[in-house]
Structure 1
Amino acid sequence: MLRGLYDHSPRFFQTLMMNVYARAKIGIRFSGKYPQFLDEVLRMQWLDAGALVAWQKRRFAAIFSQAQQHVPYYRRLFAEHGFQPAKIDDLQELRRLPVLEKTQLRRNPKDFINPTRKIAYLMRTSGTSGAPIATPYCAESLQWTTALITRFYRAAGADPRDRSIHLSDPRIVPHSEKRVFWRRNWVDNSLWFSLHHLKGDNIPAFFRAMRDFRPVYIDGYPTFIGEIARWVNAGGLAGQLPLAAVFTTSEIVTPDVRKCIERAFATRIHDMYGATEGAPIITQCPVGTYHIVPESGIVEFLRPDGSPAGPGEPAEMIVTSLRIWSRPILRYRIGDTAVLGEKPCPCGRSWPVVEQLSGRRAEWIVTADGRRLSMFSYQVFQVARNVEESQIIQHALDRFEVKLVTLPGYGDEDEAVIRRRFEEILGYRARIEMRYVDSIPRTAGGKRPAVISHVASGSFSSPSDGAGAPEDRKA
Structure 2
Amino acid sequence: MFGTMVRQIRYGMALLRGGRLDPAGLRATVADLRATIEEFGEPGEEAGALLPGGVDPDLEIRRTMADRRLRKTVRQAAARVPYYRHWFRENGVDPGDITLDTLDKLPPTTKAALRGASADFVSDDAEPVLLAQTTGTTGAPTSVWFSRYELELAAALSAMSFMMVNGCRERHVVMSTISSRATLAKLTVQQALAMVGAGFAALGTVDPRIALDRLTEQRSLPGKEPQVTHLITTASYLGCLVQLVERGRWRPSDFGLLQVLVGGEVLSDPLRRRAEQAFGAQITDTYSMTETMPTAGIVCEAEHLHLAPEQAHIEVLDPVTGLPAAPGEIGTLVVTPYTQYRDTTLLLRYATGDLVRRLPAGEPVECSLLGMPATSRLLGRTSGARPELTTRAILDLLQAVPDVPLPTRYALDGTVLHVVAGKASRPQLEDRVGTLPLTGLVLVEDAVDLPEPCRVRADLTEDSFELHPET
Residue aligned with 2:232, SS? strand
Contact 1:211 1:241 in 2 (8 A): no
**Aligned with residue 258 of structure 2, among 238, 244, 260:** 244
Task: Provide the rounded CA distance (Å) in 2 between the counterparts of 1:84 and 1:140.
Answer: 29
Matches within 5 A, 1:102-121: 102-121=111-130
One-letter amino acid of the counterpart of residue 447, structure 2 = S
1:59 aligns with 2:69: yes
- Between Structure 1 and Structure 2, the one with more helix by share is 2
Q: 1:164 to 1:285 in 2, by over 3 A?
A: same
**Residues 127-148 of structure 1, C-alpha deviations (whole Å, 9 max, x = no match):** 2320001111112323343344
CA–CA distance in structure 1, aligned partners of residues 373 and 352 of structure 2: 18
Q: Distance in 2 between matches of 1:85 and 1:160?
A: 45
The equivalent position to 1:71 in structure 2, one of 81, 91, 116, is: 81
Determine helix, strand or coil for the equivalent of 2:290.
coil
Structure 2 counterpart of 1:355, one-letter code: S
Judge conservation of contact 1:315–1:339 (CA < 8 Å) in 2. Answer: yes
Paired letter, 2:374: V
- Secondary structure of the residue aligned to 2:140 is coil
Measured at CA, do residues 236 and 58 of structure 1 come closer, stay the same or move farther in structure 2, by a change above 3 Å?
same
Match of 1:387 in 2: none
Aligned residue for 1:91, secondary structure, equals: coil
| Cα distance in structure 2, aligned partners of 1:203 and 1:82 | 55
Q: Which runs of 5 or more structure 2 residues have no equivalent in the other structure?
A: 1-21, 31-46, 183-191, 221-225, 382-390, 396-404, 410-417, 421-445, 457-471
User: Does the 8 Å CA contact 2:54/2:369 hold for their aligned counterparts?
Assistant: no
1:62 Cα deviation after fit: 3.2
SS in 2 for 1:347: coil
Write the letter of the residue equivalent to 1:225: L
After TM superposition, give the deviation of residue 165 of structure 1 in Å.
0.8
Q: CA deviation at 1:329?
A: 0.7
1:299 to 299, 314, 317: 314
Does residue 124 in structure 1 map to residue 133 in structure 2?
yes
Which residue of 213, 216, 219 corresponds with 2:229? 216
Is the 2:132–2:145 Cα contact (8 Å) retained in structure 1?
A: yes
- Larger strand share, 1 or 2: 1
Distance 2:161 2:212 in 1: 31
Question: How far 1:44 moved relative to its partner?
Answer: 5.4
Given that residues 158 and 244 in structure 1 are in contact (C-alpha distance below 8 angstroms), is that contact kept between their aligned partners in structure 2? no
Structure 1 residues 164-313: aligned runs within 5 Å? 164-169=174-179, 189-199=199-209, 202=210, 205-209=213-217, 213-232=226-245, 235=249, 237-278=251-292, 280-303=295-318, 304-313=320-329
- Cα RMSD after superposing both structures: 4.2
Shift of 1:91: 1.4
Instruction: Give 3-state SS (helix, strand or coil) of 1:214's partner.
Output: coil
What are the residue-to-residue correspondences of 1:376-391 with 2, within 5 Å?
Answer: none
Q: Return the TM-score normalized by structure 1.
A: 0.60
Does the CA contact (< 8 Å) of 1:214 and 1:241 recur in 2? yes
Shift of 1:353: 1.5
Aligned-partner Cα distance in 2 for 1:215–1:53 = 43
User: What SS class does the counterpart of residue 357 from structure 1 fall into?
Assistant: coil
Gaps of 5+ in 1: 1-29, 173-184, 365-370, 376-393, 397-451, 461-475
User: How many residues were matched structurally?
Assistant: 339
Question: Structure 1 residue 319 and structure 2 residue 335: aligned?
Answer: yes
Match of residue 91 from structure 1: 100
> Runs (4+) of structure 1 moved beyond 6 Å?
36-40, 185-188, 371-375
SS in 1 for 2:309: coil
**What is the CA–CA distance in structure 1 between the aligned matches of 2:146 and 2:218, rounded to whole Å?**
32
Equivalent residue runs for 1:142-153 within 5 Å: 142-153=151-162
Deviation at 1:355, TM superposition (A): 1.7
Distance in structure 1 (CA, Å) of the matches to 2:379 and 2:110: 19
- Determine what percentage of the aligned residue pairs are the same residue: 22
How far did 1:339 drift?
A: 0.5
